[in-house]
Amino acid sequence: MATYTGNLVAVRDVDSLRRRVQAWRREGLSIALVPTMGALHDGHIANMKIALKMADRAIATIFVNPKQFGPAEDFLAYPRRESEDFELLSAAGVQLLFAPEVAAMYPVGFATTVRIAGLTDILDGAHRAGHFDGVATVVAKLLLQARPDIALFGEKDYQQLTIIRRLVADLNIPVDIIGVPTVREPDGLAMSSRNIYLTAAERAQAPALYRAISAAASAIAGGGDMAAAMATARSEILKGGFREIDYVEASHAETLAPLTNRSDPGRVLAAAHLGLTRLIDNVAIPYA
Ligand code: PAF
């Protein structure tokens, strides 16, 4: 199945995706893949534009992956806006959209799970059982289906990015993983498809998460006590209106283990609940 509008072609099956990729390969073109779950925002579009600068052709994928949602999570409610997304991708100059149905990705009899030990059990993984197994499984499939030269993932999902780097290294998948800096609203809130769940009052409170982790990261960079910086960040997040914190941690930027040595690259990562919405964010520790 292929739909044509302007220069953007949408395909829903792996054979059509591969035919298009093979035709580009025969022309000697380089290919970037930008996996998404749709409901595209400016952050996604920034990734598409970077993809188009780094490669001759860009493929966006839209697939709301059921395997990465827990039973109590928002799989059914997750925003789906395929025609608006199509227009945005077309305007950004993306050449190919791969938007498979669930049955095409997980046909009857599908039995494989990709599990990355350790990295998937901490931080978000400790609060979302099985989430990263679902992410790793679908990302492995998308990379092998499209076989791009590069694939771009946002730093907003920093643990996901770290896990995908491990996946690609461990399975020798021949692709360069590019981490793209988080795109933020003017008040600092990280762009996310889930921000639409926030009420107006919650939307006004939401930047407290970014402010708190940025202050913690600066305090650590300035030589402040790490435990004290984390405690202050927790208290600021709660004062800012969040009702519950899953974690606020200073971690090694590559291994995600607790940061113990100030000379190592570090990241402050957090997840907290604002009303019914769970927000995550992270920032680099800005050593001078
Ligand atoms: O970050 C996302 O949108 C998803 O986790 C991804 C990488 C597209 C896998 O479903």
Domains and CATH numbers, the chain: 2-180 (3.40.50.620), 193-282 (3.30.1300.10)
Provide the 10 A C-beta neighbour count for residue 126: 12
Task: Calculate mean pLDDT across residues 245-271.
Answer: 96
Please determine, for residue 187, whether its predicted confidence score (pLDDT) is greater than 90.
yes
What average pLDDT does the chain have?
A: 96
**Closest Cα to residue 236, out of 199, 196, 281?**
281
The separation between CA 24 and the C-alpha centre of its own chain, rounded to angstroms, equals 27
Whose tokens are 């791969």? That residue is: 98
- pLDDT band, very low/low/confident/very high, at 288 (cuts 50, 70, 90): low
Residue 287 has a pLDDT of 83
Regarding the beta carbon of 35 and ligand 1, being less than 6 Å apart is answered yes
Residue 6 has a pLDDT of 57
pTM, 2 dp: 0.96
Q: Which atom of ligand 1 is nearest to the CA of 35?
A: 8
Regarding the beta carbon of 124 and ligand 1, being less than 6 Å apart is answered no
Torsion of CA 10, 138, 72, 97, to 10 degrees: -10
Distance CA(60)–CA(34), nearest Å, equals: 5
Q: Which atom of ligand 1 is nearest to the CA of 135?
A: 9
Percent of the chain with pLDDT over 90: 96
Task: Calculate mean pLDDT across residues 22-26.
Answer: 98
Please determine, for residue 1, whether its predicted confidence score (pLDDT) is greater than 80.
no
Please determine, for residue 185, whether its predicted confidence score (pLDDT) is greater than 80.
yes
Regarding the beta carbon of 134 and ligand 1, being less than 6 Å apart is answered no
Best residue among 33, 59, 62, 65 to mutate for probing ligand 1's pocket (most ligand atoms within 8 Å of CB) is 65
- Write the residue with the smallest CA distance to atom 9 of ligand 1: 135
Tokens of 32: 């970037």
Q: Which atom of ligand 1 is nearest to the CA of 36?
A: 8
- pLDDT band, very low/low/confident/very high, at 263 (cuts 50, 70, 90): confident
Q: Is 41 a residue of the active site?
A: no
Could you say which of 44, 131, 252, 273 is catalytic?
44
CA of residue 221 to ligand 1 center, whole Å: 31
Percent of the chain with pLDDT over 70: 98
Regarding the beta carbon of 139 and ligand 1, being less than 6 Å apart is answered yes
